[in-house]
Structure 1
Amino acid sequence: MSKTILKMENITKEFPGVKALDNVNFEVSEGEIHALVGENGAGKSTLMKVLSGVHPYGTYSGKIFYEGQESTFQTINDSEREGIVIIHQELALIPELTVAENIFLGNEQTKNRFIDWRKTNSKAKDLLNRVGLKANVDDLISHIGVGQQQLVEIAKALSKDVKLLILDEPTSALNETESDNLLKLLKEFKEQGITSIVISHKLKEVLAVADNITILRDGQTIETLANDNITENRIIKGMVGRDLSDLYPDRSNDIGDVKFEVIDWTLGHPTIAEKDIISNANINIKSGEVVGIAGLMGAGRTELMMSIFGRSYGKYISGKIKINGKEVKISNVSEAIANGLGYVSEDRKEYGLILEDSIKKNISLANLTELQDKFTINSYKETQIGEEYKSKLNIKAPTIEQKAKNLSGGNQQKVVLGKWIFTNPDVLILDEPTRGIDVGAKNEIYKLINDIAAQGKSVLIVSSELPELLGICDRIYTLSSGKITGEFPIEEAEQEKLMTYMTSDGGM
């Protein structure tokens, strides 16, 4: 029988107006990979923050036993000294520092009170080899990809003699190949005796790597399942409290004429002269249609969307936009909104929300003219709108005055969607609308997309998950190296075919 490395008993944690954890019990065996799953807001990240000392002893009730001893961590440094290292979903690297400097930040390799750069670089090389990262120790973090940055975070954890590694949504920003490599690495760590706790919404990955799976729902422990012939649907039932057999809801297609066209769109790099990010792209969307953009990371998906939405990225070189057959001028965000466009960014915290503002103020932000009362904002109407969208989108929060920063990722995403739906757009661009979101919230967002399309509006979706595009779109374009390489009605779109065109060098 495996030795227990971690036992958390009756953990309760409250925030103002919210009980985030309610008598949670969680147990992990030494050397296993243990998955922690649940809907957004279930309490997964909060539980790990309690464990690691981010929420210090005394701010919660219950007991934590680590390696047989009761733990009373006051800071994250306390837990790291005991070999517990947490890697958060938002990577904590400094872009302007090198790989080696980031690995040993706060854990500097010194000699006679000065940094020993030879020792630093030598140890960093060993750690990079251990995690399989093909990068130079003197590369700046800003010059390497997100997948490589994730490996730097893991190398940083290994430098602290990690015994218990906690990864919060480690593959949310990675492509399929990078995700597979990370999962293989976790299995290698298991063979080396390192215990891992993985928080993930990607249930296929959970089933591929985890020994045991603990499900949280509404801040409570529901059950722990051994990964023995269980299915995604079995896990989903525990997460949402019901069967979710139709993740991608059916809808009746009532597709009309072409509403929105992008013609011969070419976009230059914002800083590198004569480098095109997008080359002669042509796409169109009809009223009532949901169209997907499939491409690997780095293909130019987000850059294309941002440039369409008021030239928010890059250097415009050429191309036209037509709405209902007429060419329109859209050279800034205000003109994009005025012409009926809405854009939900892939980075909700950077571009989608003002985190210090309330749900109410975030929802009203893109359409303040609708709430204008002479020279001021009609606060009564703003409150009405906030309550309406909180209810309509099932935003889980005690009140609409809750700050956006205190919401779970899925609820933050619903606020961003609410903000743009309130502008009543004719064309809604969704860039990775379900990234880092649980299956229950995904299902709600898919139903919302169907509702928008049913109103005769057009929806353009970028997603890294091909099953998602295949499940909700009427038509899919493929993008590779800044070029549109294919266009497929959903009846002809297959995952293998899409991947072939996503890696093609040729354009349409």
Structure 2
Amino acid sequence: MSLDPLLEMQGISKTFNGLRVLKNVGLKVYPGEIHALMGENGAGKSTLMKILSGAYQADPGGEIRISGEPVATFDPATAKALGIAVIYQELSLCPNLSVAENIYLGRELRRGWTIDRKGMQAGCIEVLQRLGAEFTPATQVSSLSIAERQLVEIARALHGHARILVMDEPTTPLSSRETDRLFALIKQLRSQGLAIIYISHRMAEIYELSDRVSVLRDGQYIGELTREGLSADVLVKMMVGRDLSGFYKKEHAAYNPGNVVMRVRDMADGKRVRPCSFDLHAGEVLGIAGLVGAGRTELARLIFAADPRTSGTLEVVGKAVTSLRTPADAIHAGVVYLTEDRKAQGLFLDMSVADNINVCACVPDAHAGGVLDRKHAAQRSNDAIKSLSIRVASGKVSAGSLSGGNQQKVLLARLLEVKPHVLILDEPTRGVDIGSKSEIYRIINQLALAGVGVVVISSELPEIIGTCDRVLIMREGQLMAEVGGASGHAISQERIIDLATGGDQVAANG
């Protein structure tokens, strides 16, 4: 790693509508290092990176230096010319264009009045080969997987001679295999001298990749840790300003085999999910674990009637659900589902927080003639904002303007207004910061204490182990095994992985 920083940001502040969201923040990044930028949602990470990309202008008084030289004005064109590239969590590609056209977007090659597509395809072969891409420059981006599209974003940055690469939550949509490939590529780019600023809420990624970690909290620079001094306890305390020794909440009663709140029998879709059966008990937190593609989300959507089933019956609090054709039928029976994709399938981003919370509950308490009871709705949303600690100035703020953690709590608030018997949570803390995760775990524990049956589907094994009383392991569309509860097997990461990958069968047949 070079002794001289490639990037220096000093005294960076930013004010929006009189509110100071960044306060004299500093950051140094060196060539050939992976520098993790950590902090809760709302800590100022995105604002700082948007200033670096030229999308925002910092308040007067700060300074940005590249290779020791101060940059007087910072706009997107200047940032790009200086070799700064940002790959956001939501990719900025044009799916109707080819890979080459996306890589050259905004600086197309021309032959007279026409675009030289063959020249652009030839011009990006080298960078695609360097990244190990298995698609061609002529491939249309819409046909690529999320991981492959991410590779196109990286190729575009490198083709533009990027020296500083910012990656914002790059593994959120990726499988574990795709994540491993991305990590290998990031390490390769570091060895080639790139400075990489890596933003993630996943601790395991920070431990594996980062050379140094800088922490922001409430718009202020808190400090940095080197790889040698990296400690989960210290890092979390720097991020949230308090000790999270009670991070996972499991204060509800231990597993009780009585009082079944939901019976699922032979639930299948004829494609991904083969007949699955299980019981869920009142006051229990039941985990469903498995590899990506095992069928966990598909099973949850069948139970919630979001997808058609070829077989299967559902019983809730002792009553058979005779009509299970739509999600409305499931909700009427007392079963609600929090989707893994809150933006595309959960929230109405342009609507207010209050309206999002009231979507499912406004009809039952409407006045005669279908007139909405706005006073009751306002009280309901205010109570939910308070009880779930949703950080928002008022219920009138749009849901799309909130951080990931607060968006997730708005969705939870909506579901809880139905007063469900069963709550199915699919990746409940994906893209959510440490502090919000802790609050969501507190809510899960409180629901279990109140007698609600909770199902947690998660790819994060520490989350499954820390919150669940029992865990069902799914593999290739089937529920293969159980740990915890009355199974006789303790809930452990090793046991879950062994069962999810089929290692138990290999050992048995060996």
TM-score (ref. length: structure 2): 0.90
Distance 1:208 1:349 in 2: 29
Alignment match, 1:344: 338
Going from structure 1 to structure 2, the CA distance change for 1:428 and 1:83 (only over 3 Å counts) comes to: same
Tell me the amino acid that sits aligned with residue 348 of structure 1: R
Q: More deviation in 116-125 or 372-381? A: 116-125
Aligned residue runs from structure 1 range 106-505, under 5 A: 106-253=106-253, 255=256, 256-268=258-270, 276-310=271-305, 312-313=306-307, 315-328=308-321, 329-374=323-368, 375-489=370-484, 491-504=489-502
Tell me the amino acid that sits aligned with residue 360 of structure 1: A
Residue 18 of structure 1 contacts residue 398 of structure 1 at CA under 8 Å; is this kept in 2?
A: no
Alignment match, 1:272: none
Residue 204 of structure 1 contacts residue 232 of structure 1 at CA under 8 Å; is this kept in 2?
A: no
SS in 2 for 1:4: coil
**Offset at 1:222?**
0.9
Alignment match, 1:271: none
**Offset at 1:181?**
2.5
SS in 2 for 1:261: strand
SS in 1 for 2:272: strand
Tell me the amino acid that sits aligned with residue 337 of structure 2: Y
Q: More deviation in 110-119 or 87-96? A: 110-119
Residue 330 of structure 1 contacts residue 336 of structure 1 at CA under 8 Å; is this kept in 2?
A: yes
Tell me the amino acid that sits aligned with residue 187 of structure 1: K
Question: Higher strand share goes to which structure?
Answer: 1
- Over residues 348-391 of structure 1, what are the superposed CA-to-partner deviations in whole Å (9 max), with x where a residue is unaligned? 11111111112111111121125423332222222222222222
- Between the aligned residues of both structures, percent identity stands at 39
Distance 1:303 1:139 in 2: 30
Distance 2:181 2:20 in 1: 37
Going from structure 1 to structure 2, the CA distance change for 1:373 and 1:277 (only over 3 Å counts) comes to: same
SS in 2 for 1:307: helix
- Over residues 164-193 of structure 1, what are the superposed CA-to-partner deviations in whole Å (9 max), with x where a residue is unaligned? 000011112223332233222222111111
Residue 212 of structure 1 contacts residue 224 of structure 1 at CA under 8 Å; is this kept in 2?
A: yes
Tell me the amino acid that sits aligned with residue 161 of structure 2: D
- Over residues 228-264 of structure 1, what are the superposed CA-to-partner deviations in whole Å (9 max), with x where a residue is unaligned? 2321111001001112123212323253422112221
Going from structure 1 to structure 2, the CA distance change for 1:164 and 1:345 (only over 3 Å counts) comes to: same
Q: More deviation in 496-505 or 348-357? A: 496-505
Aligned residue runs from structure 1 range 90-109, under 5 A: 90-109=90-109
Residue 316 of structure 2 contacts residue 334 of structure 2 at CA under 8 Å; is this kept in 1?
A: no
Distance 2:366 2:158 in 1: 55
Distance 2:475 2:107 in 1: 41
Distance 1:459 1:197 in 2: 37
Q: More deviation in 469-478 or 323-332? A: 323-332
Residue 30 of structure 1 contacts residue 193 of structure 1 at CA under 8 Å; is this kept in 2?
A: yes
Residue 14 of structure 1 contacts residue 60 of structure 1 at CA under 8 Å; is this kept in 2?
A: no
Distance 1:180 1:483 in 2: 26
**Offset at 1:405?**
1.5
Distance 1:357 1:59 in 2: 31
Distance 1:222 1:477 in 2: 41
Going from structure 1 to structure 2, the CA distance change for 1:317 and 1:61 (only over 3 Å counts) comes to: farther
Residue 344 of structure 1 contacts residue 430 of structure 1 at CA under 8 Å; is this kept in 2?
A: yes
**Offset at 1:123?**
4.3
Q: More deviation in 240-249 or 114-123? A: 114-123
**Offset at 1:72?**
2.2
Distance 1:35 1:248 in 2: 24
Going from structure 1 to structure 2, the CA distance change for 1:353 and 1:19 (only over 3 Å counts) comes to: farther
Count of matched residue positions in the alignment of Structure 1 and Structure 2: 495
Going from structure 1 to structure 2, the CA distance change for 1:104 and 1:371 (only over 3 Å counts) comes to: farther
State the superposition RMSD in angstroms.
2.4
Distance 2:18 2:401 in 1: 11
Distance 1:264 1:233 in 2: 44
